[in-house]
């Protein structure tokens, strides 16, 4: 699925857990589908539920299953997932290959969450922020009748959660360790991306420690050479602002009702949502001209300087706009306690 962060699109993977008896659902957004993200996501799902399910039915996803069930052999789980399973004490039921009906409840929950909570890309400041948003929405969603039992989902869930296993006192440490080979440009490959590591030229191999969102590169002497986010945490896609603005210029009244309005950064949004439609069209043209050479984030950050240079500058400003008003207006809107 997609979310919007700082005016740019972020690809997210949603890990969803559903409890069939009550139809209560839980969801955690993650940046990738690797083992670190999967186990970290399960931990968050257990915390949200307040306990661990006695049995967990899973698909044949690679972070958990290294060999699927055949006619002659049982499913083989990965060593890391078995260690995680033993720590939390749940049983595992792996579905048969190409047997989506065996987990129909959670498949339906995927569709339900997609169409009810992701019909448009939500705005997030971080994965942690989006996790909190989804948790609140799904808690509120339980205050509806079960599709079959004619009882509130929340009442059924309160009964079902009594059978959860207790969370262990010590959380399972989710991380991965590997060796990174240094090339002649002081780079190592992480998540299929070459990453520059300062002072790496002194070593041929480096220790790499990976969590769901971070990476540490450590020398054989124990010195931390790099402590940063994993490359996929910085991956973004630009919204098609130029084509969006072309539509808005033709129909300036539509800006106030557009789904993309909420994705505009603060200063630009305040600047465009003027009531006078003639002025709004001219301002849309000014920002559209800037989008040819600047991204939306930079336009917002350097709003006063860039807009003043456009054709709505003071010498061609028929409306006598005081640009500093937008800085103070946006500052008051953007600051939160």
DSSP bridge partners of 179:
207
Where on the phi/psi map is residue 325: left (φ > 0), alpha (ψ -120 to 50), or beta? alpha
CA–CA distance, 274 with 142 (Å, rounded to integer): 40
State how beta strands 13-19 and 24-30 pair: antiparallel
CB 4 within 8 A of CB 121: yes
Q: What angle do CA 102, 108, 113 make, to 5 degrees?
A: 140
pLDDT of res. 308 = 76
pLDDT of res. 325 = 58
pLDDT of res. 102 = 75
From 171, 178, 181, select the one nearest 209 (Cα to Cα): 178
Domains of the chain with bracketed CATH = 2-163 (3.30.420.10), 176-234 (2.30.30), 240-334 (no CATH)
Distances (CA, A) of 268 to 201, 230, 246, 299: 45, 31, 16, 8
Strand ranges of the sheet holding 214-218, from the earlier edge strand across to the other edge: 176-181, 205-210, 214-218, 224-229
Strand ranges of the sheet holding 237-238, from the earlier edge strand across to the other edge: 2-5, 8-11, 237-238
pLDDT of res. 337 = 43
pLDDT of res. 322 = 57
Structure tokens at 186: 């002081």
Which alpha helices (H) appear in the chain, and where do they start and end? 35-49, 79-88, 104-117, 127-141, 153-160, 241-250, 266-272, 277-291, 296-301, 303-309, 324-334
CB 79 within 8 A of CB 90: no
Q: From first to last of the 337 residues of the chain, give the pLDDT tens digit.
A: 999 998 889 999 999 999 999 999 999 999 999 999 999 999 999 999 999 999 999 988 889 998 888 878 888 999 999 999 999 999 998 888 777 677 888 889 999 999 999 989 999 999 999 999 999 999 999 999 998 999 999 999 999 999 999 999 999 999 999 999 999 899 999 999 999 999 888 888 999 999 999 999 999 999 999 999 999 999 988 899 999 999 999 999 999 999 999 999 888 999 999 999 999 999 999 999 999 998 888 888 888 888 877 644 443 444 445 555 555 554 554 544 4
Long-range contacts of 126-135 (CB under 8 A, 24+ apart): 126/5, 127/12, 127/29, 127/30, 127/31, 127/213, 130/3, 130/12, 130/29, 131/28, 131/29, 131/44, 134/27, 134/28, 134/29, 135/26, 135/48
Query: What pTM did the predictor assign?
Result: 0.84
Cβ neighbours around 157 below 10 Å, total = 19
pLDDT of res. 153 = 95
CA–CA distance, 171 with 43 (Å, rounded to integer): 8
């Amino acid at each position: 699925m997609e979310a919007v962060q700082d005016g740019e699109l972020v690809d997210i993977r949603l890990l969803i857990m559903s409890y069939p008896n009550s139809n209560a659902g839980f969801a955690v957004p993650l940046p990738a589908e690797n083992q670190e993200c999967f186990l970290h996501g399960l931990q968050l799902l257990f915390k949200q539920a307040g306990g661990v399910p006695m049995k967990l039915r899973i698909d044949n996803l690679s972070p958990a299953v290294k060999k699927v069930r055949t006619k002659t052999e049982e499913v083989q789980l990965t060593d890391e997932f078995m260690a995680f399973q033993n720590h939390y004490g749940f049983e595992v039921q792996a579905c048969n290959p190409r047997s989506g009906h065996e987990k129909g409840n959670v498949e339906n929950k995927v569709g339900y969450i997609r169409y009810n909570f992701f019909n448009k890309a939500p705005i997030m400041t971080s994965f942690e922020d989006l996790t909190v948003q989804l948790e609140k929405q799904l808690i509120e969603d339980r205050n509806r009748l079960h599709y079959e039992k004619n009882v509130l989902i929340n009442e059924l869930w309160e009964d079902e959660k009594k059978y959860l296993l207790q969370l262990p006192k010590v959380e399972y440490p989710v991380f991965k360790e590997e060796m990174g080979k240094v090339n002649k440009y002081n780079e190592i490959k992480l998540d299929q991306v070459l990453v520059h590591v300062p002072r790496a030229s002194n070593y041929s191999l480096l220790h790499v420690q990976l969590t769901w969102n971070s990476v540490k590169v450590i020398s054989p002497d124990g010195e931390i050479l790099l402590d940063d986010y994993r490359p996929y945490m910085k991956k973004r896609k630009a919204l098609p602002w130029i084509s969006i603005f072309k539509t808005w210029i033709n129909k300036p009244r539509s800006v106030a009702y557009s789904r993309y309005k909420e994705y505009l950064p603060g200063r630009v949004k305040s600047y465009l949502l003027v009531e006078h439609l003639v002025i709004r069209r001219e301002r849309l043209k000014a920002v559209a001209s800037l989008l040819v050479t600047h991204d939306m984030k930079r336009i917002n950050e350097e709003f006063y300087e860039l807009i003043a240079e456009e054709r709505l500058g003071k010498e061609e400003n028929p409306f006598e706009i005081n640009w500093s008003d937008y800085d103070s207006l946006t500052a008051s809107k953007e600051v939160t306690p």
